Amino acid sequence: MAYSDDPEWADIVPLPQDDGGPNPLAAIAYTEEYSEAIPYLRAIMAKNELSPRALALTEDIIDMNPAHYTVWLYRAKILLSLKADLRQEVEWLNETATAHPKNYQIWHHRNFVIDNLGSAEGEAEFLAQMFRIDSKNYHVWSYRQWLVRRFDLWEQGELEATEKLLEEDVRNNSAWNHRFFLVNGREESAGVKGTGVREREIKFAQDAIRKAPQNQSPWNYLRGIYDRAGLPLSDMKDFAHEFASLDDPDEVHSSHALDVLAEIYGEQDGRTAEATKAYELLANRYDPIRANYWNYKKATLTHGNGVAAA
C-alpha cells in the first residue's frame, strides 16, 4: 500500500526533497516506490519520531537504498528507544545482508545490534551462509575478526574453520589472513613465538605450497610468519630450492620461490651472481608481467652491494 493511502500515515505531511535545480548533478530517475517513501521518511526524521511505524519505514528505505548513512543511525536510535526485540532485528539483518552483500553500513549496524545483544549465538551459521555467496567478502571477514575479539572465540574452532575453507580453496587469501590474525592477533598470547606454534604454522604453509607452488597466498603467509618469529629469510632457502633450481632454468615450478631465492642471495656477500640469475629468470621467463620490477631489483642489487653483477 502506498504511504499516501495508508491511514497509519494520514497524520504525516510528507516533506518532499528539493533537488536544487536547475541542472542538479547526478540526478537519478528514482523508482516510484522510493519517490513515494522518501518524503515520509524526511517528515518523521525532521520530527525525530521514534516509533514502530518509523522503524518499518526505515526498513523500506534501506531495502531500496542501503547506503543511506543517517537512516541506519536513526534506526539504531529507534530500536533502543522502543527496547525492540534485537533477535528479530538480527533475523531481518540476515536477509538484508544476503540481499546487499557489499553494503558497508549494514555491518556497522550488525556490530551495534550483536554488541547490545551480548551474544554471538547463530553468528557462525550466518557467516557460513555469507561465505557461500562469496568466501572473500571483505566486510564479512572484518566482522568475523570483531566477533572473535568481542566474544573471545579464539579457541572456539576458528583455526579449524580456516583449515576447512583453505581445503576448499587454497587460494582464498582472506582465509589465510584470518589465520594470521588468529595466530598473532591475540594480545595475551605469544602468537607465533609460542611453543610449537611457529613450527605448526610453518608446516601448514609449506604443505599448502607443496600442493600449489604458484599460489602467492601461502608464500606471503610463510614470510609473514618468519618475520613475526624473527627468523632470517635465509632459513627458507632449502625449502625454496624445492621449487626452483638456479642451475637448471627449466626446473622452476614457482616464481615466488625464485623471488625468495633472489632476496636471500641478494643479502649474502658474494652471492650476487645467484641473485642476478634469479631476477633474470623472473624477468625474462617466469614472471614477465613484472619484468620492469625484477630488472629494477637486479639493478638495485648491483648498486646496493657495490659489486658488479655477474
Partner 1 sequence: MYSGWVDWSRSSSPDAPVKQTPGSSANADQLHHQPCSRSMCMHVSFPMPPSYTLTSAHPLTHRPCASLTSPPTSCAPEPPKAPMPIPMPMPLEPPRLDHSSPLNKQKHTKYFLRCLKTFLPPAYTSNDSNRLSLAFFTVAGLDLLGGLDANTTAQEREDYIRWIYRLQLPTGGFRAFPGTDLGDRNRDEATQEWDEARYRWDPANLPATYFALATLLILGDDLGRVRRKQCLEWLPRLQRPDGSFGETLVEGKVEGGTDPRFGYCAAGVRFVLRGVEEGGLRGNGLEGVGDVDLEALVRCIRRAETYDGGISDKPFHEAHGALSFLNRLSPSPSPSHPTPTNASTTTPTRGLTNPSRTLHWLLSRQTATITLSDDTQTHSDETDTAETCHDAHTFVHPSSFPSKQGRRMYEDRDKRDNEGGRGEGGRFDVEWTGFNGRENKVADTCYAFWVGGALDMLGHSNLVHTPSLRAWLLDRTAHPHLGGFGKHAADLPDVYHSYLGLAALSLLGGEVTEADKNRASEDEEVKALTIDGLKPLDATMCISKQARGRLRGIWKRWESENESSG
CB of 213 to partner 1, least distance (A): 6
**204 is an interface residue for partner 1 by CB under 8 A:** no
CB 286 within 8 A of CB 293: no
Q: Is 298 a catalytic residue?
A: no
Q: How far apart are CA 180 and CA 184, in angstroms?
A: 6
- Site membership for partner 1, residue 13 (CB under 8 A): no
**Binding flag, residue 214, partner 1 (CB under 8 A):** yes
Residue 177 as a binder of partner 1 (CB under 8 A): the answer is yes
Give me 121's grid cell: 549465538
User: Counting contacts by CB under 8 A, is residue 224 touching partner 1?
Assistant: yes
Position 64 contacts partner 1 (CB under 8 A): yes
DSSP class of 269? T
Distance CA 310, CA 305 (A): 12
- Supply angle C-alpha 118, 124, 126, rounded to 5: 95
Q: How far is the CB of 197 from partner 1 (least distance, A)?
A: 15
User: Total binding residues for partner 1 by CB under 8 A?
Assistant: 92
113-152 binders of partner 1 (CB under 8 A): 134, 136, 138-139, 141-142, 145
Q: Which of 9, 84, 101, 153 binds partner 1 (CB under 8 A)?
A: 101
Backbone angles phi, psi at 67, to 5 degrees: -90, 5
Total residues found in the chain within this entry:
310
- Which of 4, 6, 27, 299 touches partner 1 by CB under 8 A? 27
Q: Residue 174: how many CA atoms within 13 Å on its side-chain side?
A: 17
Question: Which residue number, 85 or 205, has a Cβ lying nearer to partner 1?
Answer: 205
